[in-house]
Structure 1
Amino acid sequence: MLDWLTYRNELMSKIGELGKLTPDTIAGYQTLSRAGQKTGHLDAKTRELIGLAVAVTTRCDGCITVHTGEALKHGASREEIAEALGVAIALNAGAALVYSARVMDAVEQHAKA
């Protein structure tokens, strides 16, 4: 497994280097990241739990280490994190099921051609 804390520090350093080369890209990303905070409809812990579920479905190690730290900082328990990950697992399976139906539809159309 990864040393998640070292990885996070190294990642932030590399992102900082990228930010020096293309500051508008980083500024745009930060605008997107902060947009949900402005509405106040979800609390920070809930947003971080969603972030963890999405991190799993998109297979982003950087997102995993950042959102894990933030979720814990905002009071998420191991049980809450596990439940959010259960949602991610179910959605990945559901997405595979939906796309399997799409493949079968393509098979039908190709077979007719």
Structure 2
Amino acid sequence: MLDWNEYRKQLATGVKEIGQLSPDTLKGYIGLSSAGQKTDLLGAKVRELIALAVAVTARCDGCITVHTEAAIRRGATREEIAEALGVAITVNAGAALVYSARVMDAVKEYPREPSPHE
């Protein structure tokens, strides 16, 4: 497993470098990141729990380390984090099922060639 604290430090260094080389990219990201905080209808803790679930579905280690720390700082418990991750797991399984149905639909579009076993 990763040393998440060290990884978060390395990530901050990399993001700083990108910000120096491409400041508008970083400004745009910060604008997107802070947009949901303006209304604060969900609250910071719920937003971080959602971010963790999305981080898992996006398979983003950087998002995981940043949003885990933020969720804990905003009062999320291990149980709340586990429940949010349970939602991510359910969605991923559901997405796999939905996209499996799409594959089966795509199979119908291709001419079927007899297999050597027929």
TM more than 0.5: yes
CA deviation vs aligned residue, 1:42-101 (integer Å, no higher than 9, x gap): 100000000000000000000000000000000000000000000000000000000000
Structure 1 Cα separation of the partners of residues 7 and 26 of structure 2: 19
CA deviation vs aligned residue, 1:9-37 (integer Å, no higher than 9, x gap): 11001100110000000000000000000
1:9-28 equivalences in 2 (<5 Å): 9-28=9-28
- What's the TM-score, normalizing by structure 2? 0.93
1:30-49 equivalences in 2 (<5 Å): 30-49=30-49
SS at match of 2:42: coil
SS at match of 1:38: coil
Report the structure number with the largest CA radius of gyration: 2
Q: Identity of aligned pairs, percent?
A: 68
Match of 1:59 in 2: 59
Match of 2:8 in 1: 8
- What's the TM-score, normalizing by structure 1? 0.97
Corresponding pairs, count:
112
Match of 1:82 in 2: 82
Deviation, structure 1 residue 108? 1.1
Structure 2 Cα separation of the partners of residues 7 and 55 of structure 1: 15
Q: Which runs of 5+ in 1 are unaligned?
A: none
Structure 1 Cα separation of the partners of residues 25 and 34 of structure 2: 14
CA RMSD of aligned residues (A): 0.8
Deviation, structure 1 residue 111? 3.3
Structure 1 Cα separation of the partners of residues 4 and 100 of structure 2: 34
Q: After TM superposition, what 4+ stretches of structure 1 lie above 4 angstroms from structure 2? A: none
Structure 1 Cα separation of the partners of residues 110 and 10 of structure 2: 48
